[in-house]
Amino acid sequence: MNKISIENLTLHYSDGTESLRNITMGIPANQITVLFGPAGGGKSSLLRILNRLNDLADVTYLNGRVLLDEEDILSPKIDVINLRRRVGMVFARPVVLPMSIRQNLTYGLEVAGMKDRYRLDEAVERSLQQAALWNEVQDRLDDPAIALSGGQQQRLCLARVLALEPEVILLDEPTSGLDPISTGKVEESLQELKKTYTIVLVPHSVQQAARTADFAAFFLQGELIEYAANKILFTNPENQKTEDYVEGRFG
């Protein structure tokens, strides 16, 4: 079943950069859907539409529909704040907020109005467990988050999203700045997390796409070239461009 349905989505930025052309695709629940392709293909734009972070960018033209559980999230009537709680985002560069580890995790809940200490503490532990970070930080939750290593910071960013108990998690090249071991930990967490969440990932390499994807979508210059299950797309793609890219003939 599709958690998100994208229908005829077209987008232009005012400066004429990366745009999307007539994208139609469904994102299945409890699977990892990977959006990949060369830089400037529209992957990040699409990701940022899914939780309306694109509102912050200079978009001149946006048309089409994006349904999250049958509800059009591009509609002006939608509660954007609530949408962002349901659709969380992890960025390429781990940006920890300038506060303690604990405060980073409770921030989203607190701005939503939760004050109950007990429930906040519960969310902290649960989210850290899910992001495989609990063992490393449990006895220093009140230290500044910036003191963590790069890999730990990125897992904290993941945990921060998980603390909100979203339905969908978007990840924009979450491991691009991480070493192979940290990358492995994040990828492992994702396989566990998809049991509960719907995951959309922009990977930092074709290899990562092939390793993690249940479904993969290949984007080239704003167009969706091919979209299929992992096994088909990475072993027997229909489109010549997909095959060339996957086999490393251009990149």
Partner 1 sequence: MIKATSTSTTRYTTQRIGFGLLTAMTLFTVLPILAVVIYILVLGTPAINGEFISGFPREGMRAGGIWPAIVGTFYLTLGTAIFAVPLGIGAAIYLSEYAPENRWTRLIRIAIINLAGIPSVVYGLFGLGLFVLFLQFGTSILAGSLTLSIMTLPVIISTTEEALRAVPQAFRTVSISLGATKWQTIRRIVLPQALPGTLTGVILGLERAAGETAPILFTVAAFFLPRLPASPLDATMALPYHLFVISTQVPGMPVKIQYGTALVLLAFVLGMNFIATTIRSRARARRQW
Nearest CB to partner 1, comparing residues 85 and 155: 85
Query: Is 155 or 160 the residue whose CB approaches partner 1 more closely?
Result: 160
Cβ 180 to partner 1, closest distance in Å? 25
Least distance (Å) between residue 181 CB and partner 1: 25
Distances, alpha carbon 69 to alpha carbons 44, 60, 63, 76, 124, in Å: 22, 26, 19, 17, 28
Do the beta carbons of residue 173 and residue 208 sit within 8 Å?
Answer: no
Query: Using CA atoms, how far apart are residues 2 and 110, in angstroms rounded to an integer?
Result: 31
Quote the least distance from Cβ 198 to partner 1, whole Å: 17
User: Binding residues for partner 1, per CB under 8 A?
Assistant: 51, 53, 56, 81-82, 84-85, 88-89, 91, 93, 95, 97-99, 107-108, 111-112, 144-146, 157, 160-161, 164
The residue among 142 and 244 lying less far from partner 1, judged by its C-beta, is: 142
Q: How far apart are CA 104 and CA 127, in angstroms?
A: 11
**Which is nearer to partner 1, 72 or 165 (by Cβ)?**
165
In angstroms, what is the minimal distance from the CB of 191 to partner 1?
23
Measured between alpha carbons, how far apart are the two ends of the chain, in Å? 32
**Closest CB 95 distance from partner 1, rounded Å:** 4
For the chain, state the CA radius of gyration: 18
Nearest to 188 by CA among 125, 133, 123: 133
Nearer to partner 1, 38 or 98 (CB): 98
